[in-house]
Chain A
Amino acid sequence: MLEIKNLHARIAEDHTEILHGVDLTVNAGEVHAIMGPNGSGKSTLSYVLAGKDDYEVTEGEVLFNGRNMLDMSPDERAAAGMFLAFQYPIEIPGVATMEFLKTAMNAQRKARGEPQLSIPDFMKRVKEAAGFLNVSMDMLKRPLNVGFSGGEKKRAEILQMSLLEPKLCVLDETDSGLDIDALRIVSDGVNKLRGPDRAMVVITHYQRLLDHIVPDVVHVLSKGRIVKTGDKDLALELEKNGYADYVDAAA
């Protein structure tokens, strides 16, 4: 599904290199966790995958179902099935959440040559997904993320993910700012989307999230490279011993 080969990326503005050769392969049906200390390049990796032009790729390649993803615009990547759940979902004043959902879903359908959703069909899908994630109609009527609490923003992200039905989900610190109940709702929402045709990359600082979203593979990212790969027990070990061993190893 996703093949990242020797990926080097830097900040476009000042040319600071953040990723120094990331290699990662994620197959359909798998959930991979990427853990690592602050500043290791986790968020940069997620932005590079989504196509944010604040970053420049200087070397390496990213294949998404065999296609060169780096040649695609952010909206083309989304239509092809890439979804980034943002660490800090942005407030968009003046754009009602419901209207935004409809625009995004239909834009992707159009790009894929599929027919537009009828209003009843759209409403049915939204109501079902919103109900599961405990997202109220009142929230859906409000401008996107405006005045939403931290938990509401994260639930809204997962709602979008559920409705857009991506093939590859990248979750950037989806657990940050969540209390225990919200963490459970969000995790349940994510787990519901797990399936043989879908891959997930879960980026997190803490093992806590991985109790709820149990990964198949765990990677440690440090100083822009993957320095260790293991199974879910690696996350437990990190929780116990911290990142010190790996930070030194990468240095």
Chain B
Amino acid sequence: MNASVPIKHTQAESDLIGRFDTARGALTGSVAVTALREAAVSQIRDKGLPHRRVEEYKYTDLRAFMKAAAPMAAAADEATVRTLLDSHDAFDGLERYRIVVANGAFLPGLSDIEALAGEGVSVASLTEELAGPHGAQLLASPKSAANDGVLALNTAFVQGGVVVTVKEGAEVSRPVELIHVAASAGAQISRNRIVVAKGAKLSLLETFAGDSGDGEINTVFDYDVADSASLATTRLIVGQSHAARLFTSITTIGAKAEFKSLGFIAGPRFTRNQQFVNFAGENSNAGIYGVTMARDEDLADQTLIVDHAVPNCNSREFFKTVLDGRAKGVYQGRINVAPHAQKTDGEMMTQALLLSEEAEMANKPELEIFADDVICAHGATSGQIDEDLLFYLRARGIPEDEARTLLVLAFLAEAIEEYGEDDVTEGLEARVRDWLTGH
């Protein structure tokens, strides 16, 4: 064991260690899963929560932010979940299938299981799978996320989630919305595995409803995009909340496959959206987009590592951030190109628009290239609203507030439009307007 001097635990760290002891009996899983949970909680015990002296968390100090850790949320009351779902429509009436996870547990009764089965999509409970012979594999971490503190927190406490499998060749005709509902206060820890089999196609919408009070939300999405498959994931993190919102994506992309994702953050006090993307097969494309809005004292962090482990793949990373008040935005993006990953084409851009003097943006785009025949570019900009654009709009009769709104929307819409999932464009732009008008 590590013989270094034990750290002095913060209140939150003590709470988490205590919470693990309390919850131990309720946390399901095979022997191997239990061992992984123990190891994860040991990591928290030994190293604490991730903090600013850990490079990946330099700008997003979870240890300083999390003053205490709330108990785990109890099982959700189904009637409460129904009520919350009735008032939840993040995409303005878009036709879609629904899968519901409430307080960290899959609710098949509220999910469109039969309709999805008809489309070639099966949905299983992660909680049950964790108890099975392959349980531990469901909690595997990629190399680039080894020792990640947020992922460790998830592994230690994961309550449940879903395993969604789109069978070979199935092209799901409507988007599938995976809704996480916080039906009562308390920590909500879930993990989902999404398998899009060879030649299959899926558009996944990830939304969150309800209020977890002081409880943190920690959700992991593990995507397996097989050869010639296509997956688009739209993650919508909106609404106000004062506890930490922590999201991790792990993506493995096969050959000749397409992966697209959009991470949309608007409203929570503290959000970390981190992604680990790995190209495992050649001739594939990934488009990773981010739209972030933060005001007041909000902190919003978009972090990603894209591993070009094989040759002949393209990746595009395009992130837009709008900050007001004393908000802080963080973008950390790294493209790694392995020594033999020739003909890699990577293009990363992060742009921030600062609406106030006190807002702050940390932009950190990085390239780490070990191959010699690649095209890779990265860039970062931070600026204010262009007064000349504003004057032009006002000279056409558009009042100043409306002109500013139009320009902010236009700034963010560039990323939404390039993401190019037409089904969700309108809904996303409406959510931008919600934020701009303070809803």
- Whether both chains belong to one complex is answered with yes
Contact residues on B (Cβ < 8 Å of other chain), bracket: 20 to 34
Chain A binder among B48-56, B100-108, B220-228, B399-407: B399-407
Interface contact B391-A78, CB-CB below 8 Å: no
Nearest B residue to A78 via CB reads: B397
Decide yes or no whether A48 CB sits under 8 A from chain B: no
Q: B110-118, B137-145, B198-206, B409-417: which one contacts chain A?
A: B409-417
Q: Residue A111 contacts which of B389, B395, B397 (CB distance < 8 angstroms)?
A: B397
Contact, CB under 8 Å: B392 / A75: no
Q: Which of B391, B406, B409, B414 makes the CB contact (< 8 A) with A74? A: B391
Q: In whole angstroms, how far apart are the Cα atoms of A85 and B33 in the complex? A: 69
What is the interface size of chain A, counting residues whose CB is below 8 A from a CB of the partner?
27
A78 to B394, CA, bound (A): 8
Is B35's CB within 8 Å of the partner chain A? no
CB distance from A102 to the nearest CB of B (A): 11
Which residues of the other chain, B, contact A90 by a CB distance below 8 angstroms? Answer: 388-389, 392
Q: Is the CB of A75 within 8 A of B394?
A: yes
Does B397 contact A94, Cβ atoms closer than 8 Å?
no
Q: Are A94 and B414 in contact (CB under 8 A)?
A: yes
CA distance A112 to B406 in the complex (A): 21
Q: How far is the CA of A49 from the CA of B402 in the complex (A)?
A: 22
Asked whether any CB of chain B lies closer than 8 Å to the CB of A202, the reply is no
Interface residues of B in 333-376 (CB under 8 A from A): none
Measured CB to CB, the closest approach of chain B to A148, in angstroms, equals 14
CB-based contact B395/A74 at 8 Å: yes
Does A67 lie at the interface of the complex (its beta carbon under 8 Å from any beta carbon of B)? Answer: no
Flag if B399 contacts A107 (CB, 8 Å): yes
Q: Which residues of A in the span 78-129 have a Cβ within 8 Å of any Cβ on B?
A: 78-79, 84, 86, 89-90, 92-95, 100, 103-104, 107-108, 111
A73 surroundings in chain B (CB, below 8 A): 394, 399-400
CB-based contact B410/A160 at 8 Å: no
Distance in angstroms from A186 CB to nearest chain B CB is 18
Contact assessment for B398 and A103 in the assembled complex, using a CB-CB cutoff below 8 Å: yes
Cα A103 to Cα B399 in complex, Å, equals 10
Task: Output the nearest chain B residue to A52 by Cβ-Cβ distance.
Answer: B391
For residue B396, CB closer than 8 A to chain A, the reply is yes
Bitwise interface map of A from 32 to 60 toward B, beta carbon under 8 Å scored 1, else 0: 00000000000000000011110000000
A94 touches which of B392, B399, B409 (Cβ 8 Å):
B409
Instruction: Spell out A's residues near B (CB within 8 Å).
Output: 50-53, 73-75, 77-79, 84, 86, 89-90, 92-95, 100, 103-104, 107-108, 111, 143, 160, 164
Known: A73-B394, A103-B398, A107-B396. 10 other contacts (CB 8 A): A50-B395, A52-B395, A78-B394, A79-B397, A90-B389, A92-B410, A104-B393, A104-B398, A108-B397, A164-B397
What are 18 A-B pairs at a CB distance below 8 A?
A51-B394, A52-B391, A73-B400, A75-B397, A75-B400, A75-B403, A77-B395, A78-B396, A78-B397, A86-B392, A90-B389, A94-B411, A95-B406, A95-B407, A95-B410, A100-B396, A104-B393, A164-B397
